[in-house]
Structure 1
Amino acid sequence: MDLTPAQRIELYGFNNLTKSLSFNMYDICYTRTKEEREAYIEYIDEQYNAERLTKILKHVADIIGAHVLNVAKQDYVPQGASVTILVSEGPVVEVPTESYNESPGPLPDSVVMQLDKSHITVHTYPEYHPDEGISTFRADIDVSTCGEISPLKALNYLIHSFDTDIMTIDYRVRGFTRDINGHKLFIDHDISSIQNYIPEEVKDLFHMIDVNVYQDNIFHTKCKLREFDLNNYLFGYTKEKLNPEELEEITERVKMEMDEIFYGKNINRGWTNAIDLN
């Protein structure tokens, strides 16, 4: 059952619906030598270390009006980082009707809501392929809340917090809550697409595909940058340093990597080994 602001129903006890947002971002880079690969991984580890990731997640907590209970953070060796924040209901008592509107969330902290028994996590995965010259960085962010707020309100801020070429976004409402007559409510807000929570200027940058299972309150959106400039995928030099054969080969490899991640399947690799990757 979907509720609009005009249909607010008095609940029996706390809103026990669990709303979970999983946001995965990917950054792609072409690194043709071992030194470039190591420099890229070092750059990513510095750019997205546990300290900075903690600041990002605390901003998310501010956006959804959460009170931080505990922070666990870790930088890993040789690479990667994790942060987990446990949060509870913030001091806000009155819940704004804006929580029921399909619209992009704030940048960074102008909405407060009501929630309880919730958590926010991030894990990073820098990695590279030793033969094909491709390095990738993946960050997995999960925001899970119980109560009035949909974590989609934090999506806009999360998108702006990471440099991303590809995004996969999942949103699911689980469980149920009850009104004062015992009637079960399996969702408490209207939603037709995750895209409705992404600003138009951001959507214009990406090619997007939706896969939604409305009867199970499961929503999925995949995003890949529309514009391709090879300079954005080279580390430490520009495409002007490449000869025409290298330019074509590297462009093919980077685009194929992006397509495989976006479509979730391997593509036949027919290139030659003309470029020295040692």
Structure 2
Amino acid sequence: MSSTSENTIELHGFNNLTKSLSFNMYDICYTKTKEEREAYIEYIDEEYSAERLTKILKAVTDIIGAHVLNVAQQDYVPQGASVTYLISEGPIVEVPTESFEESPGPLPESVVMQLDKSHITVHTYPEYHPSEGISTFRADIDVSTCGEISPLKALNYLIHSFDTDIMTIDYRVRGFTRDKEGKKLYIDHDISSIQNYIPEEVQDEYDMIDVNIYQAHTFHTKCKIKEFDLDQYLFGYTKDSLTHEEAKEIAERIQKEIDEIYYGKNIDI
């Protein structure tokens, strides 16, 4: 059986729709010297080590009700980490109706829902600008599920797990399943925007743009932090230690970096 927000549809076989969530986040930092840059990269590698990322993905599996089959994790030299979870259908319980509504998921209390074979991966990419004193940390998380539950229910927890200036979020539904009469079903839940799965208090912190292709069941949302506080982008010191001119120049560099990533293009000033 496959539940929707309005009714219950009896399927021919099982629900084999594939739903994929790609969560891409960026953290920006100003690192003036080589020592600052190396210290920032070291901090990121420690804060988002393979061990910490594994714990984050384990919480995601709990939220979507998955059973872990295999875990592969790796810290890389000189920097970065990757974790891959191979997961399968977890215990099946009565599925709450609200799970099919466009609403944020839990933080991170276990919500057990029907799930078929799938996977969750995360890769991190710390890097730095060759001359502008800008260091950037990027993390890519992919949650791919088959079955009734949408991986969008894990989005709220993922947002709260990372300190992020920019988020790029993609959601796609692929394949089809069939009802008892053989009619193809290409999506099994209503969705108008990924933003509906993000809590209002988080939405208030970001400027957001949607680019959706409803006919193809493809949804895209970009988010950029609204408030700019230079102290949040300085590693190991505050803006009080800078001259007014230095603070202004650094702020312009950081804001340019944020805008370029958000809009996906180089900006000439």
Superposition TM-score, scaled by structure 1 size: 0.94
8 Å CA contact retained: 2:91, 2:112: no
1:186 aligns with 2:177: no
8 Å CA contact retained: 1:122, 1:139: yes
1:57 matched residue in structure 2: 57
CA RMSD after TM alignment: 0.9
Consecutive unaligned residues of structure 1, counting only runs of 5 or more, are 270-278
2:162 matched residue in structure 1: 162
8 Å CA contact retained: 2:12, 2:178: yes
Instruction: Give distance in 2, aligned partners of 1:221 and 1:110.
Output: 26
More deviation, 85-94/3-12: 3-12
Residue 109 of structure 1 and its aligned partner are, at CA, apart by: 1.9
Amino acid in structure 2 at the alignment position of 1:10:
E
1:220 matched residue in structure 2: 220
1:229 matched residue in structure 2: 229
SS in 1 for 2:211: strand
Residue 7 of structure 1 and its aligned partner are, at CA, apart by: 2.3
Identity %: 82
8 Å CA contact retained: 2:91, 2:113: no
Residue 93 of structure 1 and its aligned partner are, at CA, apart by: 4.1
Amino acid in structure 1 at the alignment position of 2:186:
F
1:244 matched residue in structure 2: 244
SS in 1 for 2:232: helix
1:7 matched residue in structure 2: 7
1:147 matched residue in structure 2: 147
Amino acid in structure 2 at the alignment position of 1:13:
G
Instruction: Give distance in 1, aligned partners of 2:251 and 2:79.
Output: 27
Amino acid in structure 1 at the alignment position of 2:176:
F
8 Å CA contact retained: 2:67, 2:90: yes
Residue 99 of structure 1 and its aligned partner are, at CA, apart by: 2.3
Residue 83 of structure 1 and its aligned partner are, at CA, apart by: 0.1
Q: Deviations over 1:111-159 (max 9, x none)?
A: 2111111000000000001210000000000000000010000000000
Superposition TM-score, scaled by structure 2 size: 0.98
Instruction: Give distance in 2, aligned partners of 1:26 and 1:129.
Output: 14
SS in 2 for 1:6: coil
SS in 1 for 2:212: strand
Q: Deviations over 1:41-79 (max 9, x none)?
A: 000000000000000000000000000000000000000
Matched ranges for 1:75-86 at <5 A? 75-86=75-86
Instruction: Give distance in 2, aligned partners of 1:4 and 1:59.
Output: 25
2:253 matched residue in structure 1: 253
SS in 2 for 1:46: helix
